[in-house]
Amino acid sequence: MDSRIETKCVQGGYTPANGEPRQIPIIQSTTFKYDTGEDMGKLFDLEASGYFYSRLQNPTCDRVAAKICALEGGSAAMLTSSGQAATFYAVFNIASCGDHVVASSAIYGGTYNLFAVTMKKMGVEFTFVDPDCSEEELENAFKPNTKAVFGETIANPALTVLDIEKFAKSAHAHGVPLIIDNTFATPINCRPFEFGADIVTHSTTKYMDGHGAAVGGCIVDSGKFDWMAHKDKFPGLCTPDESYHGITYADKFGNEGEFITKATAQLMRDFGSTPSPQSAFILNLGLESLHVRIKRHCENALAVAEFLSKNDKIEWVNYPGLEGNKYYDRAKKYMPDGTCGVVSFGVKGGREAAETFMKNLKICAIETHVADARTCCLHPASTTHRQMTDEQLAEAGVSPDLVRLSCGLENAQDLIDDISQALNKVL
């Protein structure tokens, strides 16, 4: 029986047998015991499935990955130790030295750095495109060695909403997959596979954990991309892997399994960004209430955005769920039930006013974090981006007055009252 998404949040990924633990057991073991060397050899050759060493796979982590896979409607998934590791593996699994990737320019700062600095050093070249570029501009970004297209459903912190169908169409016309970071929307509000995306990544550190308790990431494969149809572009999947006795992932695991199997067998084996079973267990506690929490995050954010949009101390408000926002219609199409809990806005009076406002907040705390139960805010110009001049901030899309507020699960009126009293301190 295929259950609805709320039921999948609570029960997906793990069905205990008679007498087994109701909750996903924490298998805090690095290693697993076998009766014969031959049994274990089969695992090493990917001839049989099973566990042998928790750097590659662990039963607790796999059950939690299976839940996220079910939520996204994918065919296979893996957890990673962070969202950064998930992004890196998802791209590096198909693009290596000499390859090229097209990415939206409105992405998480850490992802931009990973692509533009670190992966560039590894020989992977990125072309960044405006997410609202024309189809023609998008077309011009492709090269013969392009291996993937990357974007975020709702960009952190720009809060732009990606036209997933436009990006998927363009990627597929060039025989490459679309990878979507779905961290901010979560599968509760958007399932990118339904709009043509092929691979989804998550920083589970954000809403999925939702309590600021465990850093983690996840990669989900839709199982729909036909790698073999573009054999020449993806030799890593479609030709024998000498480090696995000549296995060809595409032949052995098919469209549904090859991407995640290769990422586990090669990248997790060699880079080892392994999540701990304990962290996976904590993540699962968050997932059990994801559907309930996301609704509240969005309600609170909308109430706050509406309040701010009517306040005369506020210069501008950016929230894709707010009527009149540039992305309102697109958000309604891709996320009819809500967008996310993050709102950004400018306080009149610029940098100084923003600082005064923030230091007077009592419920909303100043943090370099988003998307957890407690409301938090950040003034990039005086913290994460403080070394930049106002001109450099403008290029990064961060105005000196920008405040990013991540609405938690508190009472909406309490949040509004807190924001209101702090704004009253601004002259």
Ligand X SMILES: *Cc1c(COP(=O)(O)O)cnc(C)c1O
What is the DSSP-derived secondary structure letter of residue 172?
Answer: H
Place of tokens 């006795």: 245
368 exposure class (CB count in 10 Å sphere: 0-12, 13-18, 19+): exposed
Spatial contact of 51 and 59, defined as CB atoms under 8 Å apart: yes
Structure tokens at 310: 């009517």
Amino acid at 335: M
Binding piece for ligand X, criterion CB under 6 A, among 29-37, 141-149, 177-185, 284-292: 177-185
Quick one: 111 or 399, whose CB is closer to ligand X? 111
Alpha-carbon distance of 317 to 301, in angstroms, equals: 11
Say whether residue 215 binds ligand X (CB under 6 A): yes
Binding piece for ligand X, criterion CB under 6 A, among 14-22, 201-209, 235-243, 271-279: 201-209
Alpha-carbon distance of 158 to 107, in angstroms, equals: 8
- In DSSP notation, 194-259 reads GGT--EEEEETTTTTT-SS----EEEEE-S---GGGGTTT-HHHHS-BGGGTTB-HHHHHHHHHHH
Residue 112's CB is within 10 A of a number of other CB atoms, namely: 17
The distance of closest approach from Cβ of residue 204 to ligand X in the complex, given in angstroms and rounded to an integer, is: 7
Quick one: 266 or 279, whose CB is closer to ligand X? 279
Binding piece for ligand X, criterion CB under 6 A, among 199-207, 241-249, 307-315, 391-399: 199-207
Cα-Cα-Cα-Cα dihedral of 186, 187, 188, 192, to 10°? 110
Smallest CA-to-CA distance from 407 within 394, 416, 420 is with: 416
Distances (CA, A) of 1 to 4, 16, 62, 376, 408: 10, 16, 21, 40, 34
Number of residues that bind ligand X (CB under 6 A): 17
Say whether residue 217 binds ligand X (CB under 6 A): yes
Residue nearest to ligand X as judged by C-beta position = 83
3-state secondary structure of 33: coil
Binding piece for ligand X, criterion CB under 6 A, among 79-87, 288-296, 400-408, 409-417: 79-87
Q: Considering only residues 54, 60, 75, 84, which one is a binding residue for ligand X as defined by CB under 6 A?
A: 84
Quick one: 118 or 134, whose CB is closer to ligand X? 118
Say whether residue 110 binds ligand X (CB under 6 A): yes
Say whether residue 339 binds ligand X (CB under 6 A): no
Q: Considering only residues 8, 206, 291, 404, which one is a binding residue for ligand X as defined by CB under 6 A?
A: 206
Say whether residue 152 binds ligand X (CB under 6 A): yes
The distance of closest approach from Cβ of residue 255 to ligand X in the complex, given in angstroms and rounded to an integer, is: 26
Say whether residue 203 binds ligand X (CB under 6 A): yes
Structure tokens at 86: 């998930």
Say whether residue 183 binds ligand X (CB under 6 A): yes
Alpha-carbon distance of 104 to 76, in angstroms, equals: 25
Say whether residue 83 binds ligand X (CB under 6 A): yes
Spatial contact of 165 and 193, defined as CB atoms under 8 Å apart: no
Place of tokens 């968050």: 286
Say whether residue 372 binds ligand X (CB under 6 A): no
Quick one: 90 or 322, whose CB is closer to ligand X? 90
Amino acid at 127: T
Binding piece for ligand X, criterion CB under 6 A, among 17-25, 104-112, 117-125, 278-286: 104-112
Spatial contact of 267 and 89, defined as CB atoms under 8 Å apart: yes
Quick one: 49 or 368, whose CB is closer to ligand X? 368
Task: List binders of ligand X among 263-282 (CB under 6 A).
Answer: none
Q: Considering only residues 93, 111, 279, 375, which one is a binding residue for ligand X as defined by CB under 6 A?
A: 111
Spatial contact of 176 and 166, defined as CB atoms under 8 Å apart: no
Q: Considering only residues 72, 99, 181, 355, which one is a binding residue for ligand X as defined by CB under 6 A?
A: 181
Quick one: 54 or 111, whose CB is closer to ligand X? 111
Residue 134's CB is within 10 A of a number of other CB atoms, namely: 11
Quick one: 110 or 254, whose CB is closer to ligand X? 110
Quick one: 152 or 355, whose CB is closer to ligand X? 152
The distance of closest approach from Cβ of residue 341 to ligand X in the complex, given in angstroms and rounded to an integer, is: 12
Q: Where are the alpha helices (DSSP H) in 174-233?
A: 186-189
Q: Considering only residues 88, 89, 108, 207, which one is a binding residue for ligand X as defined by CB under 6 A?
A: 108
Say whether residue 156 binds ligand X (CB under 6 A): yes
Q: Phi then psi for 391, rounded to 5 degrees?
A: -65, -45
Q: Which residues contact 112 (CB under 8 A, 6 or more apart)?
A: 105, 128
Quick one: 250 or 283, whose CB is closer to ligand X? 283
Give the residues lining the site for ligand X (CB under 6 A): 82-84, 87, 108, 110-111, 152, 156, 181, 183-184, 203, 205-206, 215, 217
